[in-house]
């Protein structure tokens, strides 16, 4: 079975060609929504988001088209463009993307640059290959699409893809790129080649290095007025010879003889879905001389180039690599408080898939980290995976213009000795203390839900109020099975040694502990932090409760000396 034989986790991509890219149609593929369909927006919210996205993209486009500068990664730009198209399609607000007024595509392509449809799933690849023969696979090089026009063997024009019909005249740039032959040996009057100009990076591993924004760097070199010395680092991968040879081996040999060896090196036959998957995985993992965002499966295109169109063609299919980052919208911002009073920040986001993993929540770490960016619901952020697959915020792409008010807890309200008793404001830290206490005392099956039910059912006040409940009361709040288990676990906890109880209560410090509370209080006076914590435990009635329950070490006996 195809799905069982794939060498990598199944990836899902959004299909579609987006209009308006300078060099190639922007692909809506990355950061795929975990649930299909339109984004959960009201009409008013959608109108606002569309306006903000258009404004942001227009700014990036102007910088990109007029100065060759990209302020965001290629992957992020593609996803933002895809997001806009999705909103426009869902809410009927589609408008063409317009180039900055200073950019005009004036040079006509001899043959139209056709678009490539993107596979939405592995299954679509399988279906596409099922009824096709003589299929080849090539890497989808991450660069800038161009036409190279040779007349009587001499290079006469290099034209950017533009809108597929017309592009920019980059012939002068081609003169400074050694990898582009200025002449070829042929008896043909005219030769038209289509391919990708890219920044050569030997040893590039896509699965490890990602795109590194090399497409934008390449575009910048070609867009600048001056001829940068780095143009010498550019190379070209030819992926089409419109109207050329129909015999594949002759086709590849001829391109090599003309000075385009990469085409033969990276064009492989595929016998079916399994071999295509194996080659795709190999190119994703092994060193290559270029960045690539996937592979293209293709048959020989029609010889009659008048049938070629800028939209999707029927003879090729792109199969993208998994994305490295994803653009997503923040839905909620929470500020969990831990047992020691440490405040962290947790973002709930619109679900996205990165490297086969569905991301719904992103931890930002400490409150101080959040304060630097102040991320709110409605903001668009870029999320990536770090070590062990942990999602992290890479950057904030767009701040919402109407951020909602957030309750942000202050450090002065939560600290090591706060919330030893229950109040609504203290709920998170109070329950976190109980969860820690239960875990350290070996009370299995007493998680935050059980503690929360007890605290709510009996309106707890002190940290150890649960020790006053009998078996029937526990069953009334937790149910028969959980109640009996909790009762037994609680009885066993009462027999734990003094040192275990001190750790369960969260007493700071790692130095050796004395045998009982009176000795501990004498020693703790020499340690300010411990002394302060011990005073808080006494003031909040925790020590008195343990004495009342007869817990060893709090009644004057030495549990560690009992054998």
Angle between helices 427-440 and 448-457 (to 10 degrees): 120
Distance CA 216, CA 73 (A): 8
Distance CA 198, CA 252 (A): 20
The three-class DSSP label of residue 148 is: strand
Q: Which residues pair with 422 in a beta bridge?
A: none
Helical segments of 262-374, H only: 262-265, 273-285, 367-373
DSSP annotation of 175: T
Helix count (H) and strand count (E) of the chain? 19, 18
Angle between helices 471-478 and 480-494 (to 10 degrees): 130
Which candidate in 33, 118, 140, 173 is catalytic? 140
Distance CA 300, CA 242 (A): 10
The three-class DSSP label of residue 414 is: coil
**Sequential DSSP letters for 193-209:** EEEEEEE--TTB-HHHH
Q: Give yes or no for a contact between 300 and 377, defined as CB atoms under 8 angstroms apart.
A: no
> CB under 8 Å to 304, separation ≥6 — which residues?
none
Active site residue 140: yes
For the record, the structure tokens of 479 come out as 């149910």
Give the catalytic positions in this structure: 140
């Amino acid at each position: 079975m195809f799905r069982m034989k794939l060498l990598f986790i199944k990836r899902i991509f959004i299909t579609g060609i987006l209009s308006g890219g300078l060099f190639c149609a922007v692909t809506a593929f990355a950061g795929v929504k975990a649930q299909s369909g339109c984004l959960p927006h009201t009409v008013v919210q959608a109108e606002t988001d569309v306006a903000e996205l258009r404004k942001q993209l227009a700014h990036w486009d102007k910088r990109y088209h007029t100065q060759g500068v990209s302020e965001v990664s290629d992957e992020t730009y593609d996803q933002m463009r895809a997001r806009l198209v999705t909103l426009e399609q869902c809410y009927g607000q589609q408008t063409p993307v317009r180039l900055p007024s200073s950019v005009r595509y004036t040079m006509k392509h001899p043959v139209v640059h056709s678009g490539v449809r993107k596979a939405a799933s592995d299954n679509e690849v399988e279906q596409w290959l099922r009824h096709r023969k003589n299929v080849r696979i090539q890497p989808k090089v991450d660069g800038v699409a161009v036409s190279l026009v040779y007349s009587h063997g001499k290079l006469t024009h290099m034209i950017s893809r533009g809108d597929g019909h017309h592009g920019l005249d980059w012939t002068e740039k081609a003169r400074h790129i050694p990898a582009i032959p200025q002449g070829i040996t042929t008896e043909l009057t005219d030769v038209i080649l289509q391919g990708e100009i890219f920044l050569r990076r030997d040893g590039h591993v896509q699965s490890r290095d990602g795109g590194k924004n090399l497409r934008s760097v390449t575009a910048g070199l070609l867009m600048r007025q001056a001829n940068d010395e780095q143009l010498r680092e550019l190379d070209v991968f030819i992926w089409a010879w419109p109207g050329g040879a129909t015999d594949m081996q002759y086709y590849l040999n001829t391109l090599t003889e003309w000075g385009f060896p990469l085409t033969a090196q990276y064009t492989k036959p595929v016998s079916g879905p399994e071999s295509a998957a194996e080659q795709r995985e190999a190119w994703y993992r092994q060193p290559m001389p270029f960045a690539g965002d996937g592979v293209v499966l293709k048959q020989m295109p029609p010889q009659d180039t008048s049938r070629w169109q800028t939209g999707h063609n029927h003879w090729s299919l792109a199969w993208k690599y998994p994305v490295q980052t994803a653009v997503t919208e923040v839905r909620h911002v929470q500020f969990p408080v831990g047992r020691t009073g440490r405040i962290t920040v947790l973002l709930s986001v619109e679900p996205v898939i990165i490297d086969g993993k569905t991301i719904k929540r992103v931890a930002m770490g400490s409150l101080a980290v959040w304060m630097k960016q102040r991320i709110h619901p409605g903001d668009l952020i870029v999320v990536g995976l770090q070590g062990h697959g942990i999602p992290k915020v890479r950057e904030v792409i767009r701040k919402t213009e109407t951020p909602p008010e957030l309750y942000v807890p202050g450090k002065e309200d939560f600290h090591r000795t706060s919330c030893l008793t229950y109040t609504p404001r203290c709920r998170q830290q109070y329950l976190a203390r109980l969860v820690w206490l239960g875990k350290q005392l070996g009370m299995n099956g007493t998680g935050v839900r059980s503690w929360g039910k007890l605290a709510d059912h009996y309106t707890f006040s002190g940290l150890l109020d649960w020790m006053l409940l009998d078996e029937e009361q526990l069953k009334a709040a937790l149910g028969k099975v959980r109640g009996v288990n909790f009762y037994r676990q609680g009885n066993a906890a009462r027999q734990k040694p003094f040192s275990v109880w001190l750790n369960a209560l969260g007493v700071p410090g790692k130095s050796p502990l004395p045998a009982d509370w009176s000795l501990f209080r004498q020693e703790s006076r020499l340690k300010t932090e411990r002394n302060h914590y011990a005073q808080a435990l006494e003031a909040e009635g925790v020590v008195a409760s343990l004495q009342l329950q007869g817990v060893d070490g709090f009644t004057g006996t030495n549990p560690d000396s009992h054998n």
